[in-house]
Amino acid sequence: MLNWEDIFATRSSRMRASEIRELLKLLDRPDIISFAGGIPDPALFPSDAFRNAYAEIFVGDQAGAALQYSVSEGFLPLRQWLVGEMATIGIACTTDNIFITSGSQQALDYLGKLFLSPGDTALVGWPTYLGALQAFNAYEPNYDQLTLSGNRTPDSYQAAAEKAGGAVKFAYLSADFANPTGETVDRAARERLLALGDELNIAVIEDAAYQSLRYDGEAVPPILALEIAQKGSIEATRTLYCGSFSKTLAPGLRVGFVVGAAPVIRKLVLMKQAADLHSSTINQMVVAHVATRHFPAQIAKIRAAYGARRDAMLAALASYMPADTSWTRPQGGMFVWVTLPEGMDGAELLARSVETEKVAFVPGQAFFADRSNANTLRLSFSCANEQMIDEGIKRLGRLIAGSVKALAA
């Protein structure tokens, strides 16, 4: 019998089924209140706008082009719209600085491929987006903990990377309403990161998947915007901004984008030619059609809906969680991150929670590159209504309070 493992490349050894994605398959049960999936609420998709967009494109003279091969850079009118959109958040660029991907997940894969040789180091948050770790893992990197408090010197990152057999190549982070913590990096920490990037001479990958979903507080300029302001032009920057239409319009179309210095964009275009030629032409066209007509109204709609759910979750946590748990208070996005007392295990709690309370969430351990911090969990408020959130958190609080008592006994 052929043992496939014998002939797979070494890079495949770190490709494992994600517990979370496996888990999500099981939790799609109607009797369960789920705070597990970090997905947008389908009731908020601009479905009518998409229906009209497809219909208009197919009856018009664009029908042939919509079904044809297209350029690897991405649909020009969509890139032109993005140039205008980026200008509103302080990112001055041209269409040469924008590359359309099949979701921002593809951007993470390509950036891993572009920068990481086996043994190189990627600096990531502790915790960080699991999908980023999965994308980078294929390129056999080491991970080091990106800390923005300024208490680690560039030399210490460099020395650790050399010891691991490579060089530091990039720092990856979600600066706004991160998955999984919901936290936002303040302006001073963004500036420290840019200084670290300059000292280490590495790329900074800014994952902006949730950036438009702010419910309150002052917007902090994107890292790329701060760097353009410092250095005078996007061509002098090291930040690569990864955006997505998944959380704002709809994820099923798989349209995301990268904004950055033209030499990097040109390499990414070559990678796309080799990988899948281009993202779906028709989907890029409908995204352009819908974005140009409905984007501000759609953003206002989802901010109002998710903001109310965020409020409901924070209120319920304050009412029902036992005293020795703590949680983040996100100003946007889809997630709240809960820290349980030391010694508790999120995965074990999930098993009991699904069984007895019919409430699901994601254990936090999977989001740490070293699988530490078992006493954490991620709650998503994007897909449950306010009543479900109150009921679900009440049940979860009850379960956690019981477990805390048992732990103390």
Ligand X SMILES: Cc1ncc(COP(=O)(O)O)c(C=O)c1O
Of 142 and 382, which has the nearer Cβ to ligand X? 382
Contact residue for ligand X among 73, 183, 207, 227 (CB under 6 A)? 207
174 binds ligand X (CB under 6 A): yes
Of 249 and 340, which has the nearer Cβ to ligand X? 249
Nearest-approach distance from CB 181 to ligand X, in angstroms = 11
209 binds ligand X (CB under 6 A): yes
Using CB under 6 A, count the residues that bind ligand X.
14
Q: Which of residues 310-339 bind ligand X (CB under 6 A)?
A: none
Query: What does the block give as tokens for 158?
Result: 């460099």
Of 211 and 281, which has the nearer Cβ to ligand X? 211
Closest residue to ligand X: CB criterion: 103
Per-position b or e across 383-407, b if 16+ CB within 10 A of its CB: bbeeebbbbbbebbbebbbebbeee
Place of tokens 């705070």: 35
Of 256 and 397, which has the nearer Cβ to ligand X? 256
Contact residue for ligand X among 72, 137, 212, 244 (CB under 6 A)? 244
Of 104 and 284, which has the nearer Cβ to ligand X? 104
Nearest-approach distance from CB 91 to ligand X, in angstroms = 18
Contact residue for ligand X among 97, 179, 325, 365 (CB under 6 A)? 179
Contact residue for ligand X among 33, 36, 38, 110 (CB under 6 A)? 38
129 binds ligand X (CB under 6 A): yes
Of 237 and 246, which has the nearer Cβ to ligand X? 246
SS3 track for the chain: CCCHHHHCCHHHHHCCCCHHHHHHHHCCCCCCEECCCCCCCHHHCCHHHHHHHHHHHHHCCCHHHHCCCCCCCCCHHHHHHHHHHHHCCCCCCCHHHEEEECHHHHHHHHHHHHHCCCCCEEEECCCCCHHHHHHHHCCCCEEEECCCCCCCCHHHHHHHHHHCCCCEEEEEECCCCCCCCCCCCCHHHHHHHHHHHHHHCCEEEEECCCCCCECCCCCCCCHHHHHHHHHCCHHHCCEEEEEECCCCCCHHHCCEEEECCHHHHHHHHHHHHHHCCCCCHHHHHHHHHHHHHHHHHHHHHHHHHHHHHHHHHHHHHHHHCCCCCEECCCCECCEEEEECCCCCCHHHHHHHHHHHHCEECEEHHHHCCCCCCCCEEEEECCCCCHHHHHHHHHHHHHHHHHHHHHHHC
256 binds ligand X (CB under 6 A): yes
Cβ neighbours for 43, distance < 8 A, ≥ 6 positions apart: none
Of 184 and 246, which has the nearer Cβ to ligand X? 246
251 binds ligand X (CB under 6 A): yes
Nearest-approach distance from CB 102 to ligand X, in angstroms = 8
Q: Which stretch binds ligand X (CB under 6 A): 91-99, 243-251, 285-293, 343-351?
A: 243-251
211 binds ligand X (CB under 6 A): no
Nearest-approach distance from CB 105 to ligand X, in angstroms = 3
125 binds ligand X (CB under 6 A): no
283 binds ligand X (CB under 6 A): no
Nearest-approach distance from CB 122 to ligand X, in angstroms = 15
97 binds ligand X (CB under 6 A): no
Contact residue for ligand X among 37, 74, 103, 346 (CB under 6 A)? 103
Q: Which of residues 340-399 bind ligand X (CB under 6 A)?
A: none
Positions that interact with ligand X (CB under 6 A): 38, 103-105, 129, 131, 174, 179, 207, 209, 244, 246, 251, 256
